[in-house]
Amino acid sequence: MNVNDAWIQSFTGLKVTPLNLQPEQIRIEDIAHSLSMQCRFAGHCREFYSVGEHSVRLAAQLQREGFSAKECLWGLLHDASEAYLTDLVRPLKNGSDIGPIYRNIEARAMATICQKFSLAPEQPECVTVADMRMLMTEKRDLLAPPPDVWTAELHGSGNPYPWKIDPWGRRMVEMSFLERFHRYASVR
């Protein structure tokens, strides 16, 4: 079998080829469900906190800050490739031989997701900034106190948001993800 033909079954029962993702294989219900089931930080949180909740909170923050529906939609979907590929921890993704290969596959999947949902191919800067601030907020609220070596990294990466994260349940995340998707996607 050609590796590009290797497939997984999605939550809604579709045959999906993650290494050769096609627009017709993408359903928002699959993305919302999968991301609501995947824990951030490779599961090293004090309690379960999903990639889906991260995405919903990021999109909500962009909306509070007055960004457009398209930018909020980009924020909601910025980790959508993880519904089909999962994610790698940063040392593997950014500091190993696996990293460039994975990032290439991830970029191709995101390009297809952007095509499917009529998003600009490049992630908006506001999403990148909000994602970093979310990371700092999540580290503060969901992880054990950081080792001393992280102190400079934490302060050099942006300020956490002033609000605190109290994780939701998986079903609430999935419903909130879908509700926000339909709200942002309906604006033309």
The neighbouring-strand residues paired with 50 are: 39
Mean pLDDT of 4-10: 94
* Cα–Cα distances in angstroms (integers) from residue 94 to residues 89, 103, 118, 140, in the given order: 9, 9, 28, 22
The DSSP code sequence of 111-158 is HHHHHHTT--SSPPHHHHHHHHHHHHHHHHHHSPPPPGGGHHHHHHT-
| Beta-carbon contacts of residue 62 (< 8 Å; ≥ 6 apart) | 71, 72, 75, 126, 127, 130
- CATH number among 1.10.10.10, 3.90.1330.10, 3.40.50.300, 1.10.3210.10, domain 3-185: 1.10.3210.10
| Beta-carbon contacts of residue 44 (< 8 Å; ≥ 6 apart) | 143
Question: Residue 155, CB half-sphere, CA atoms under 13 Å: how many?
Answer: 4
CA 7 to chain centre: 21
pLDDT in tens, 77-102: 999 999 999 999 999 999 999 999 99
Rounded to 10 deg, the angle between the 28-37 and 170-185 helix axes is 150
Question: Residue 120, CB half-sphere, CA atoms under 13 Å: how many?
Answer: 12
- pLDDT of 176 higher than 70: yes
Tracing tokens 């824990």 back to the chain, one arrives at: 39
Give the per-residue pLDDT at 145: 85
Domain boundaries, the chain: 3-185
Give the per-residue pLDDT at 182: 98
Across the chain, mean pLDDT equals 94
